Amino acid sequence: MALKCVAVMGWPDSGRSIASGVVFNGVRNSNGEPRKIFVSLGRFSGPADNQKTGKSSTGNDVPGKLCRNLVSLPKPLTISVTPNDGTQVRISFKGSPGSFTEDAALKAYPNCETIPCDEFEEAFKAVELWLAEKAILPIENSSGGSIHHNYDLLLRHRLHIVGEVQFVANFCLLARPGIREEKLKCVLSHPQALASSDIVQTQLGVARENIDDTASAAQYVASNGLRDAGVVASARAAEIYGLNILADRIQDDPDNITRFLVLARDPIMPRTDKPFKTSIVFTLDEGPGVLTKALAVFALREINLTKIESRPQKMRALRVVDDSNTGRAKYFDYLFYIDFEASMADPRAQNALGHLQEFATFLRILGCYPMDTSL
Ligand SMILES: O=C(O)C(=O)Cc1ccccc1
């Protein structure tokens, strides 16, 4: 049983915290009722950790009553120090070995073990089932925009965002050894990779075929011995699948950046000694200016927003409003996803979310994590 700890975070004027997560009171809504925000940042102490003593939890092999009681006491807060180069960390991702998502995982955790999955959903499940400690998934791209499906998965699953990775994907045109560009009749790749290069779009004048990920395209061409098919993928994929690089850096925008999120079962401790971001999702009532009001809670506290995304609420796509003046109206119902530049350990962020919670109909903190400032 791993030693677990709980971390407490509250409003500056909070009076108390309870239970295995933390509920903070002290903020009241417009009706004077207390508002609560629940932020669980760690794990609670479970049954006694016997690994260190090597004794059984019954305490039968511990002489004396006092010692027996001590064994069953909760352990003090311990911060486990694991190397953060990814040693001993298994990271699940959607795609084959050699994909850009795997590259992003290796950028963040150079010594991690990567676990390829067929679907994003499986990468989530691998963490939920303890087959992996973390999952990594692309969430937005500087040229293609948001990856909507992954926003939906963030909400459907209960994992926490614990990191972000900004990654410049370097697209290469690959083919089997001995095959020249003129021989190609089609190019296979992930749609984002195919769309990012004018060479592939127009200059080659060949058909394009979408494949789930760049490395799977390379694997397919290599393992089927295709002599008239090229691939857009990474130099690492070329090496893994024994393909030749016909052209390097074929992307039109040399700064084409993909942002990946790293997810884990437990949230990390927010800090203020380095830049942190917080990601949330919320819903609002229908009405004029409600979104302006929601955004103002951040502006009022000079908190910078880095991303806003809206997604339809699939379980409740249409909201029917009966109004005696205008009659029956149907509206689409939306979820709003926002990333802002502040740590949950910063009172400004806590106050902004307390304020938002006064009128949001639903609010969830998806994660608070260090900003990737490497680019
Ligand atoms: O297909 C891949 O290799 C992926 O990991 C997805 C992707 C595709 C293009 C840019 C970044 C990530």
Question: Residue 150: its pLDDT value, please?
Answer: 97
SS in 3 state form for 160-222? EEEEEEEEECCCEEEECCCCCHHHCCEEEECHHHHHCCHHHHHHCCCEEEECCCHHHHHHHHH
Q: Which two tokens stand for residue 158?
A: 């209960």
Exposed / middle / buried, residue 164 (Cβ in 10 Å: 0-12, 13-18, 19+): buried
Are the C-beta atoms of residues 139 and 147 closer than 8 Å to each other? yes
Tell me the C-alpha distance between 188 and 96, whole Å. Answer: 14
**Alpha-carbon distance values, 79 to 3, 4, 144, 268, 276 (Å):** 9, 9, 40, 11, 20
Closest CA to ligand 1's atom 1: 213
Phi and psi torsions of 362, nearest 5°: -160, 140
Tell whether the model's pLDDT for residue 250 goes beyond 50. yes
Are the C-beta atoms of residues 350 and 303 closer than 8 Å to each other? no
For the stretch 196-237, pLDDT in tens is 999 999 999 999 999 999 999 999 999 999 999 999 999 999
Tell whether the model's pLDDT for residue 55 goes beyond 70. no
* Cα 74 to middle of ligand 1, angstroms: 45
For the stretch 298-311, pLDDT in tens is 999 999 999 999 99
Long-range Cβ contact pairs of 237-240 (< 8 A, separation 24 or more): 237/98, 237/99, 237/174, 238/172, 238/174, 239/98, 240/97, 240/98, 240/215
From 168, 170, 213, 240, give the residue whose CB has the most ligand 1 atoms within 8 Å, as the site to mutate.
Answer: 213
Question: Residue 12: its pLDDT value, please?
Answer: 34
Tell whether the model's pLDDT for residue 32 goes beyond 50. no
Tell me the C-alpha distance between 113 and 90, whole Å. Answer: 5
More confident residue, 142 or 83: 142
Tell which atom from ligand 1 comes closest to the C-alpha of 234. 3
Model confidence at 73, in pLDDT bands (50, 70, 90)? low
Model confidence at 255, in pLDDT bands (50, 70, 90)? confident
From 168, 192, 211, give the residue whose CB has the most ligand 1 atoms within 8 Å, as the site to mutate.
Answer: 192
Tell whether the model's pLDDT for residue 79 goes beyond 90. no
Mean pLDDT, residues 7-24: 32
* Cα 137 to middle of ligand 1, angstroms: 10
Mean pLDDT, residues 116-135: 98
**Residues near ligand 1 with C-beta < 6 Å?**
95, 99-101, 138, 169, 190, 192-193, 213-215, 258
* Interface TM-score (ipTM) > 0.90: yes
Tell which atom from ligand 1 comes closest to the C-alpha of 213. 1
Tell me the C-alpha distance between 3 and 48, whole Å. Answer: 8
Tell which atom from ligand 1 comes closest to the C-alpha of 103. 5
Q: Please provide the DSSP assignment of 242-261 as one string.
A: T-EEEES---SSTT-EEEEE
* Cα 266 to middle of ligand 1, angstroms: 26
Question: Residue 2: its pLDDT value, please?
Answer: 35
145: left (phi > 0), else alpha (psi -120 to 50), else beta? left
For the stretch 138-173, pLDDT in tens is 999 999 999 999 999 999 999 999 999 999 999 999
* Cα 192 to middle of ligand 1, angstroms: 7
Are the C-beta atoms of residues 91 and 134 closer than 8 Å to each other? yes
Mean pLDDT of the chain: 81
Question: Residue 64: its pLDDT value, please?
Answer: 37
User: Residue 356: which H helix or E strand, with range?
Assistant: helix 347-357
Query: String of b and e for 310-341 (b: at least 16 CB within 10 Å)?
Result: ebebeeeeeeeeeeeeeeeeeeebbbbbbbbb
Are the C-beta atoms of residues 282 and 336 closer than 8 Å to each other? yes
Q: Which two tokens stand for residue 66?
A: 């006092």
Model confidence at 21, in pLDDT bands (50, 70, 90)? very low
Are the C-beta atoms of residues 175 and 188 closer than 8 Å to each other? no
Tell me the C-alpha distance between 101 and 215, whole Å. Answer: 10
Tell whether the model's pLDDT for residue 323 goes beyond 80. no
* Cα 99 to middle of ligand 1, angstroms: 6
Residue type, 283: T
pTM of the entire predicted model: 0.78
Question: Residue 262: its pLDDT value, please?
Answer: 98
Mean pLDDT, residues 120-146: 97
Model confidence at 82, in pLDDT bands (50, 70, 90)? low
From 91, 92, 99, give the residue whose CB has the most ligand 1 atoms within 8 Å, as the site to mutate.
Answer: 99
Tell whether the model's pLDDT for residue 194 goes beyond 50. yes
Tell which atom from ligand 1 comes closest to the C-alpha of 214. 1
Q: Which positions are catalytic?
A: 258, 260
Counts of helices then strands in the chain (DSSP H, E): 10, 19
361: left (phi > 0), else alpha (psi -120 to 50), else beta? alpha
Question: Residue 225: its pLDDT value, please?
Answer: 96
